[in-house]
Amino acid sequence: MQTFEYRQSTSVDQAVQAGARSKRAQQYADVRFIAGGTTLVDLMKLDVERPNQVVDINGLPLAQIKTSADGGLVIGALARNSAVAHHPVVQRDYAVLSLALLSGASPQLRNMATTAGNLLQRTRCVYFRDTAHACNKREPGSGCSAIGGHNRMLAILGTSKDCIASNPSDQNVALTALEATIQVQGVKGNQSIPIQDFYLKPGSTPNSENVLEPGDLIVSVTLPPPAPDTRSHYLKLRDRAAYEFALASAAIVIKVNGGRIERARVALGGVGTVPWRSREAEQVLEGHTADVALFRRAAEAALKDAQPASENGFKVELAKRCIVQALTVSTQSA
Amino acid sequence: MRFEEFVEFIGSQEGAPPKSLDANAPPPSAIIGAGVPRIDGPLKTTGSARYAADYNFPGLVYAVPVRATIASGKIQRIDSSAAEAMPGVLLVMHHGNIMPLYRNASGGRNSESRPAFEDETVYYWGQYVAAVVAETFEQAQAAAATVKVEYEPAKFNVDPSLSDSLPPEGEPGGPRVMSNRGNTESAFASALVKVDETYITPVETHNPMEMHATVAVWDGKKYTLYESSQGVMNHQNVVSQVLGVPKENVEVISRFIGSGFGGKLFPWPHSAIAAAASRKLNRPVKLTLSRKMMFSNSGHRPRTQQRMRLGATTDGKLLSLQQNYRNHTSYGDDIRENCGEATPFLYSTANLKVTSALVRRNVGTPTPMRGPGAVPGLFALESAMDELAIKLKKDPVELRLSLDTLIDEEKNRPFSSRHLKECLQLGAEKFGWSRRTPEVGSMRKGDLILGWGVAAASWGANRGVCETEVSLRADGTARVGCGTQDIGTGSYTVIAQVITDKTGIPVDKVDVVLGSSALPPGPTSGGSTATATFLPAVIDGVNAAIKVVLTVAGNTKDSPFEGKDPNSLTMTAGRVHEKGAPAASGVSYNEILHIANLASARGDGKSGGLGADPKSHNFSTHSFGAQFVEIEWDPGIARLRVSRVVSVIDGGRIINMRMATNQVAGAIVMGVGMGLFEETIYDPRNGHPINDNFADYIVPTIADAPQIDVHFLDIPDPLLNEYGARGIGEIGLAGIAPAITAAVYHATGVRVRELPVRIEDLMKTNAVT
Ligand SMILES: Cc1cc2nc3c(=O)[nH]c(=O)nc-3n(C[C@H](O)[C@H](O)[C@H](O)COP(=O)(O)OP(=O)(O)OC[C@H]3O[C@@H](n4cnc5c(N)ncnc54)[C@H](O)[C@@H]3O)c2cc1C
């Protein structure tokens, strides 16, 4: 860890100003906000993040969870993962989010982790997290050690020849299926960014993971109003029963009417370089009768472009089974 | 571990054997076997138990190692100028400037025979190449990151396949014959039913909760080392040689250990690094390993590759058994994983051969890990037995029962106490084995396919030499001192129970002092031998102290027994009385001490090793067990869980039922890790154990713990000590992994011969769905 200056922000504007002094917003940002610290501090200890200034935003009034005028939900950037997971409205109307959060990390971590921090958590790729190895995400142009290395956990969708790191979040998969919007305040004012436009696939610049610029502070995440008679589910598959990142996960938001699927949202975790929305699967599902054969076709469609690395070929089939099971559960008559 | 290797770390076998269980002796009181809670429990639950890294002294400074980022080669240059210029930095130590450290030539066992910083050669990724000492931990760590090391890399090998070509059997470097009887080749050739398969166990890293740590204090003449050690006496012996000082100039203290699983049996190089820095700076030095370092710098269970050949008659007689195994070892040390530990005697067969070979890899030196040898060895043997049962269409419990033997056919002696049969029978009953349907995939529970598997377990039993000092005090308390240590298994409590049994002094009034090399020499906590070793010496010590009380009773003016021959007196539950008279007629021992104006009566205890007891040469001494495992496989989502384990252990008399159950339950959970999760993976391109953290090296969580049902036969083994106790620290792990893979086969039809079982193995198209 290298030495850094620690500051506490007392207002959103002040935080934005402090952040704006950073030369870059992505890998090796020299100013970093700290929320729960469960990603940032780990990476600083590993020398993978080296901010010279850490701006504590925990004092900002951004922890509230409240319904919006249109009947949706506004989740403050600093709302803890545990608070969101146990919120009655989330449990009732956005079960997929509650399930996703509770499947992640441990109770202690969820009590610290925040909504915005979770949006910005970094990959768990071992080569990214160890400075002894080449990694294009960390040191652009140095090469990708994961390709041809230990990559059982890594991505099979959205990869590039420069990076196969997976986005490890559970929350963000649920938020993708829920079509959440991310509210950002920055030096240029306020922006509302739909989650599908927020993350960047690695391409040839895996060091850039999202659209944020220096000073951009996430203030909240908004969920659209729940459509009536919609059900949702999150299924996470992993080797052990708890406290492990997903090998594959699926978030489903679905409305079935008289056996026919009217609307479906499908997102995948553990397999994509970003939280993975599968419009291909949604297309197969919408307008058709919900049954296992259809689910399997949707799963095939979702994975048709998968490009496994040396150790993670099984994830293609695993993700398919995950989708089929998550669809089965979320369409079962109560 | 073979008997000979036990000797290596339990020391010489000299000394009088303890009194064996006399058939007419009264049984021990109810305290022996009772589930007494740990006497050190409150210290641990309140955070007041001090572990090695908890020691702080005025002037304490911190050492942080710099580690090699190549797996083989030579250090060309170390540039520490930036580090030396950083705030708080006191010293950068490396092969160019460290004081001389020596190899231990005069006994004891070291982990890596090469002392830290011996020369510029690097043998494995992560090897210590320098250490930075600074006023604070943060300063040392920041400075360590700036030390630039230039290397001339050399070729290295971390190939997981151990199929290297080796010289022929018997030649140097070739397979060594460990056991051989009859003619295995011809017996196998003629067998009508054969199993010929190769089984692989991966590198496992011990990962005790408490990281290795040393706090070294040099006082100008003597080192005091606060360690997390499973053997303070051995540590003192070895490290004093490494540091080049007389043994008395090193004291090793290890009051509490956050477990070791074998990884803390013998000293690791960080201990001498901290000591050398302390001497150089004349300041106390703390060096704590990070979790990451634990994957390179403090040992592992080596990878094994074992070819098993079993030949049988169609009715299930075992004609021949062959085990040809290899394990990897480091470039510096020959560590043989004794995979054939249980093979020669577990089942009856006239023709048997076990060979062992080493192949070198650029890895840190392996070290014993819970049930070394036997645990990976039984994975192979018990897997092969399951495969044989299937070929014979025999129930795997029945097959094992039919091959049971009460004679160790290797040594041609009876076992001192073998009850494998009873373990299998009781386990089958508790598990409900009779309801098992043998066809693959035939047992269901909703969407889940159940698999039921069984395996036998065995682990050696042994006793080393031990000394104790026991004081019975006039204030009604007692003190026991012994240079062994409690690694979290319960030695403190077991020793207190012995004093209670012999004196009636309640366990909470017994002060048990362990974990210092300044105490009378006690055993290393390893090989499941510590309890069997210290019990007789504690008994001897307390009996000696009682004898002092009786002598005092007879010799002291105004004593109720004044003038009585001490031999006519005895002590029962703390009351001194005449032999033949009821205990109630007597006087409490502390009253006697008061009358004599004595603060305490002290007795020194001593007992010899098993090998020194001529009777032991007539017997073969081992523990046995049976493991029954249920797994649940959900093919729809490729989810595999171990759901239920019944474990029956024949481990001699159990001294503390609660802690023994604890040991076995913990071992079962560790077995789930061995079966399903754990593997240290070396990146073939650089030799780095790449999953050197707890997100990537998966161990079971509580949610992965199955329903656990532990039973002990509780049959005393008269050969070991008066109580007939063996040890139960390791046997609980033996047999779990092969029972898991047998259950996995039963559920899915997929035979996994290379651990751990991964869901991708079971997603293959030939698996049952
Ligand atoms: C052992 C372990 C296991 C885990 N397991 C899982 C798991 O199974 N599933 C899962 O999904 N996650 C898991 N996680 C990750 C965890 O969910 C994240 O670490 C957590 O959500 C991050 O939130 P935080 O508030 O602590 O972020 P911080 O560490 O405080 O911040 C993370 C990043 O976000 C930035 N940031 C924070 N807030 C804002 C803001 N308002 N605006 C702009 N930038 C901001 C910070 O600058 C930093 O770059 C695990 C983590 C650990 C340590």
**Contact (Cβ atoms closer than 8 angstroms) between residue B238 and residue B264:** no
State yes or no: cis peptide before B284, omega within 30 of 0: no
Q: Which residue of A has its CA nearest to B636?
A: A321
Check whether B6 has a pLDDT greater than 50. Answer: no
A26 lines ligand 1 (CB under 6 A): no
Query: B466 alpha carbon to ligand 1 midpoint, in Å?
Result: 53
Contacts of B681 in chain A (CB under 8 A): 150
Looking at the structure, tell me whether residues B544 and B654 fall in a common domain: no
Could you confirm whether B439 is annotated as catalytic?
A: no
So what's the pLDDT on residue B768?
A: 65
Looking at the structure, tell me whether residues B592 and B701 fall in a common domain: no
- The reply to whether B60 falls in a domain is yes
A305 shares contact with chain B (CB less than 8 Å): no
Looking at the structure, tell me whether residues B221 and B339 fall in a common domain: no
- Separation CA B753–CA B761 (nearest Å): 10
DSSP string, B416-430: SS--HHHHHHHHHHH
So what's the pLDDT on residue B4?
A: 46
So what's the pLDDT on residue B281?
A: 98
- Separation CA A235–CA A254 (nearest Å): 14
- The reply to whether B186 falls in a domain is no
Tell me the pLDDT band of B13, cut-offs 50, 70 and 90: low
CA dist B308 → B383, B405, B515 (Å): 9, 20, 42
Could you tell me which residues come within 8 angstroms of residue A270 by beta carbon, excluding any fewer than 6 positions away? A153, A166, A168, A236, A237, A245, A246, A247, A248, A249, A315, A319
Residue of A22, A54, A120 to test ligand 1 pocket, by largest number of atoms within 8 Å of CB:
A120
Tell me the pLDDT band of B765, cut-offs 50, 70 and 90: low
| Cβ <8 Å between A318 and B759 | yes
For the segment A38-70, what is each residue's pLDDT rounded down to a tens digit? 999 999 999 999 999 999 999 999 999 999 999
CB pairs under 8 A between A and B: 79
So what's the pLDDT on residue A2?
A: 83
Check whether B22 has a pLDDT greater than 60. Answer: no
Q: Which two tokens stand for residue B722?
A: 């008066």
- Separation CA A252–CA A285 (nearest Å): 11
- The reply to whether B38 falls in a domain is no
Question: Averaged over A125-134, what is the pLDDT?
Answer: 97
- Separation CA B364–CA B687 (nearest Å): 11
DSSP string, B273-340: HHHHHHHHHTS-EEEE--HHHHTTSS--BPPEEEEEEEEE-TT--EEEEEEEEEEEE-SS------TT
Question: Averaged over A9-17, what is the pLDDT?
Answer: 97
- Separation CA B761–CA B752 (nearest Å): 7
- The reply to whether B161 falls in a domain is no
Give chain B's domain count.
Answer: 3
What pTM was estimated for this model as a whole?
A: 0.97
- Termini Cα distance of chain B: 41
ipTM over cut 0.95:
yes
Looking at the structure, tell me whether residues B576 and B704 fall in a common domain: no
- Separation CA B109–CA B168 (nearest Å): 29
Domain housing B280? 52-156+206-297
The CATH number of residue B537's host domain is: 3.30.365.10
**Which residues of chain B are at the A interface, by a Cβ-Cβ cutoff of 8 Å?**
69, 138, 141-142, 145, 636-639, 641, 676-677, 681, 683, 685-686, 688, 690-691, 693, 695-696, 698, 700-704, 758-760, 763
| Cβ <8 Å between B698 and A318 | no
Which of A126, A313, A321 faces B638 most closely, judged by CB atoms?
Answer: A321
Check whether B444 has a pLDDT greater than 70. Answer: yes
Question: Averaged over B114-131, what is the pLDDT?
Answer: 98
- Separation CA B276–CA B99 (nearest Å): 7
- The reply to whether B15 falls in a domain is yes
Looking at the structure, tell me whether residues B488 and B602 fall in a common domain: yes
Question: Averaged over B147-155, what is the pLDDT?
Answer: 98
For the segment B275-296, what is each residue's pLDDT rounded down to a tens digit? 999 999 999 999 999 999 999 9
Which of B637, B685, B763 faces A314 most closely, judged by CB atoms?
Answer: B763
So what's the pLDDT on residue B1?
A: 41
Q: Which two tokens stand for residue A277?
A: 């929305």
Report which protein residue has its CA nearest ligand 1's atom 8: A104
| Cβ <8 Å between B698 and A244 | yes
Check whether B2 has a pLDDT greater than 90. Answer: no
For the segment B26-57, what is each residue's pLDDT rounded down to a tens digit? 688 999 999 999 999 999 999 999 999 999 99
Shortest-distance atom of ligand 1 to CA A217: 42
| b/e B141-159 (16+ beta carbons within 10 angstroms → b) | bbbbbbbebebeeeebbbe
A144 shares contact with chain B (CB less than 8 Å): no
Looking at the structure, tell me whether residues B399 and B540 fall in a common domain: no
Among residues B608, B625, B649, the one where a domain terminates is B608
- Termini Cα distance of chain A: 52
A224 shares contact with chain B (CB less than 8 Å): no
User: How many Cβ atoms are within 10 Å of B87's Cβ, its own excluded?
Assistant: 12
Check whether B9 has a pLDDT greater than 80. Answer: no
Looking at the structure, tell me whether residues B8 and B70 fall in a common domain: no
Contacts of B702 in chain A (CB under 8 A): 242
Report which protein residue has its CA nearest ligand 1's atom 48: A40
For the segment A82-105, what is each residue's pLDDT rounded down to a tens digit? 999 999 999 999 999 999 999 999
- The reply to whether B750 falls in a domain is yes
In chain B, pLDDT over 70 holds for what percent of residues?
96
**CATH, range A230-331:** 3.30.390.50
Tell me the pLDDT band of A334, cut-offs 50, 70 and 90: low
Which of B637, B683, B703 faces A149 most closely, judged by CB atoms?
Answer: B683
In chain B, pLDDT over 90 holds for what percent of residues?
95
Q: Report which of A28, A47, A31 is spatially closest to residue A133, judged by C-alpha positions.
A: A47
Among residues B608, B641, B670, the one where a domain terminates is B608
Among residues B544, B579, B608, the one where a domain terminates is B608
Residue A183 distance to chain B (closest CA, Å): 31
Contacts of A2 in chain B (CB under 8 A): 142, 145
Check whether A125 has a pLDDT greater than 80. Answer: yes
Q: Which two tokens stand for residue A104?
A: 């992640």
For the segment A176-204, what is each residue's pLDDT rounded down to a tens digit? 999 999 999 999 999 999 999 999 999 99
- The reply to whether B596 falls in a domain is yes
Report which protein residue has its CA nearest ligand 1's atom 26: A36
- Separation CA B321–CA B345 (nearest Å): 11
- The reply to whether B435 falls in a domain is yes
Looking at the structure, tell me whether residues B498 and B457 fall in a common domain: no
State the helix-helix crossing angle for B491-503 and B530-555, rounded to 10 degrees: 30
Residue of A13, A22, A28, A33 to test ligand 1 pocket, by largest number of atoms within 8 Å of CB:
A33
Looking at the structure, tell me whether residues B697 and B599 fall in a common domain: no
Looking at the structure, tell me whether residues B432 and B310 fall in a common domain: yes
Question: Averaged over B723-727, what is the pLDDT?
Answer: 94
Looking at the structure, tell me whether residues B577 and B447 fall in a common domain: no
- Separation CA B609–CA B494 (nearest Å): 20
So what's the pLDDT on residue B27?
A: 80
Looking at the structure, tell me whether residues B343 and B317 fall in a common domain: yes
For the segment A224-261, what is each residue's pLDDT rounded down to a tens digit? 999 899 999 999 999 999 999 999 999 999 999 999 99
Query: B104 alpha carbon to ligand 1 midpoint, in Å?
Result: 49
Q: Which residue of A has its CA nearest to B640?
A: A239
| Cβ <8 Å between B763 and A317 | yes
